[in-house]
Chains A and B, each alone.
Chain A
Amino acid sequence: MNDMRFVERQVTTTTEIKFAARNVNVFYGDAQAIHDVSVDIEDKTVTAFIGPSGCGKSTFLRCLNRMNDTIPICRVEGDIRLDGEDIYDRRVDPVQLRARVGMVFQKPNPFPKSIYDNVAYGPRIHGLAASKAELDEIVERALRRGALWDEVKDRLDAPGTGLSGGQQQRLCIARAVATEPEVLLMDEPCSALDPIATAQVEELIDELRERYSVVIVTHSMQQAARVSQKTAFFHLGHLVEFGETGQIFTNPEDPRTESYITGRIG
């Protein structure tokens, strides 16, 4: 029944599908964290994942760049395609996949290296810069897009771990965009940021949308409404509702969605 709706929507929109997930189940050992989720994530679109704590938003997000591979007890079933290619196929190298699908974590995790080296880490391992000047350029562009450049341009050699929490998170965003991913997954990127930095990150997300697909997990309804075009509501490991953000927030179909948005569950 869910699938029927997707078909309808595809007719009305012209954007192409970036990620197509079908019947995804995720288990941690014997405990099932995601139940039969199917969703399409469009290119050049911001998709928001909302839902109460523990409902599996992070888990599902981590399926999209196979970060769950690093958790030994985690098992993913189902079919997830990026540009039509099954990312859980044997031939797909998760390392290459993650170069295309970047990720920003809930808790800032800068490397204990200089600010410059933090941002240059990805471009260096993927050989994106032919010269030092080119690398400098990439680092500066990434820091500007992370809304951090003005604050750190005089101390690029200072350790990234010495920045404030909000600055660290913007550094991590800059680090993720420096590799020019096609999709950026953001797990509550603003939970440690003040309103000004949050606004800057939201602006960045909006800007990224022109070229990439962005998936953002957030606990802020306002943020979801501000930055996203599509919203997915998760509850207890199920995808309860998925659709246009405006529709979800003004006229949700499922009563659970409505109670969550109006603050009655979660």
Chain B
Amino acid sequence: MPVAGLHPRAGKRGANMTTILAVLVLLAALAAFVLGRQRAVQLAGSTPSALHSRPAYHGAFGLLVVLLSGWGALILVASISAWHVEQALMDQIARAAPGTEIIERQLILSDARALAAGRVASSTDELRQQVAARYASLVTIWGWVQMGVVLGVTALAFGWSLRRIALDWRARNRTEAIVKAILAVTAAVAVLTTIGIVLSLIFETVSFFGNIGWRVDKFLFGTTWSPLSGISAGRIDPDKVGVVPLFAGTLMVTFIAMAVAVPIGLFAAIYLSDFAGPRARAVAKPMLELLAGIPTVVYGFFAAITVAPLLRDGGGALGLSIASESALVAGLVMGVMIIPFISSLSDDVINAVPQALRDGSYALGATRAETVTKVVLPAALPGIVSAGLLGFSRAVGETMIVVMAAGQGANLTANPLEAVTTVTVQIVMLITGDTEATIAAGPAFSLGFTLFVITLLMNVAAQKLVARYREIYD
């Protein structure tokens, strides 16, 4: 319901304006490419070698300069305007309604924005109407400013990049420098994100350890895990944060999974690489890879709904009592999930063993089996071990299957037929539970950090092995 005297949908128009400007800059950049290239070709005339850089580089330089400066200006003006509008409106609200809480002022502001954009606000009063009107006019002004600045900067960049074109203008070197800088920035984003995550893990873990009075020994070696049980008192009881049951559960599930995945995956890889004919290989390999594409959540409910009752009934027939949630069910299904990892990695390393080695063995009168066990597997062993380690770290970090099939109670047991819990399950429970996130975060982060360290060590070991393997054959 548009309010009289307001520009309807002012906010929306601002957003549209930004999109249009961004597209305009892009078009200008493309034009700079075409014109720049043309200009360079004209300058060179009949002797293309007179140009220091190929015409396409002249065009690309113009494209990059126009695009970067135009979009840069756009982003800059947009952030300044957002900041300024917010400041101005908050001031206005503070003057009109002194003594209100910050949170209430923010509510007023967001209502005013909604009104200006023609959406429904939580309430409409005089103040909100005023703020909305001011908001609309500010947005309009800033819209013009933005358009002027962006178009101006784009035009300048356009003209400058075209004027620079000359026979000895090192457009290629400049273009390469810009591209290199862009690549470096993207790489930096990835690296910085990783560093940020690790730092926050470490920070939260340290503060959690502070909360339990630095009883890291109790954390690492305690056998009771119930971190939130005494939380109402405001402190975490160091006696109830022992992770041994969680890691015991994780390890048990992981070992069951590896016991399933390693033999099946490895033998499948051996069959595919050295025994299967081309036709069997063409069918079986994509099928295995398909297995890797099944989302783990599907494996999870498959484990809980199909495999668990089957095992329970089967076990009952044999006189075994298998809990409906058990390490065995989770481990078996997780093993199936990991088979494609092991088999496709092993298949790669087994195939990387040179055919000349196999030929050498066959020429000495060795059978296929002898060749595989005595020549191919020893040569591929480091790669196979690293495939196993990667599968292991996958299993340790796997969450969905264990959440649905392993159990929740921190139960320290050596019996795979009973329910166990894992590190990942406990993290899920802490974060999705009712306890306030800031309190639950401490134990969750320290579990996550421990898990991270373990997985990291595994991956480093795996990469070392693969590197050594490469040295042998390169």
Contacts and interface: CB of A to CB of B under 8 A. Distances in A.
Contact of B364 (A70, A96, A99, A110): A99
Contact of A103 (B278, B363, B366, B378): B363
Contacts of B367: 95
A48 B163 CA distance: 73
Interface string B369-381: 0100011001100
A146 interface: no
Contacts of B357: 109, 111-112
Contact of A109 (B354, B370, B374, B378): B354
Contacts of B379: 111-112
Given A67-B359, A105-B356, A172-B360, A111 B375 contact: yes
A109 B278 contact: no
B295 interface: no
B472 interface: yes
B378 A113 contact: yes
A84 to B, nearest CB: 21
A105 to B, nearest CB: 7
Given A72-B278, A109-B360, A125 B366 contact: yes
Interface in B246-304: 277-278
Contacts of B277: 72
Nearest to B370: A125
Contacts of B374: 121, 125
A233 B450 CA distance: 71
A111 B361 contact: yes
A121 B361 contact: yes
Contacts of B354: 109
A65 B360 contact: no
A176 interface: yes
A38 interface: no
Interface string B325-365: 00000000000000000000000000000111111111111
A237 interface: no
A112 B374 CA distance: 10
Contacts of A99: 364-365
Interface in A86-135: 95-100, 102-103, 105, 107, 109-113, 121-122, 125-126
Contacts of A67: 359, 362-363
Given A111-B375, A161-B472, A70 B365 contact: no
Interface residues of A, number: 28
Q: Is the interface of B mostly helix, strand, loop or mixed?
A: helix
A70, A97, A179, most chain B CB atoms within 10 A: A70
Contact of B365 (A111, A112, A126, A161): A126
Interface string B17-35: 0000000000000000000
Contact of B472 (A96, A97, A112, A121): A112
Contact of B356 (A72, A107, A125, A126): A107
A72 B277 CA distance: 8
A170 interface: no
B364 to A, nearest CB: 4
A175 interface: yes
A109 B365 contact: no
Nearest to B367: A95
B368 to A, nearest CB: 9
Interface string B438-459: 0000000000000000000000
Interface in A221-265: none
B355, B362, B364, B366, most chain A CB atoms within 10 A: B364
A118 to B, nearest CB: 9
A104 to B, nearest CB: 8
Contacts of A161: 472
Contacts of A111: 357, 360-361, 375, 379
Nearest to B371: A125
B362 A70 contact: yes
Contacts of A109: 354, 356-357, 359-360
Nearest to B277: A72
A125 B365 contact: yes
Interface of B: 277-278, 354-367, 370, 374-375, 378-379, 472
21 contacts: A67-B363, A72-B277, A95-B366, A95-B367, A98-B362, A98-B363, A99-B364, A100-B365, A102-B364, A105-B356, A105-B360, A105-B363, A109-B357, A109-B359, A109-B360, A111-B357, A111-B379, A122-B364, A172-B360, A175-B364, A179-B364
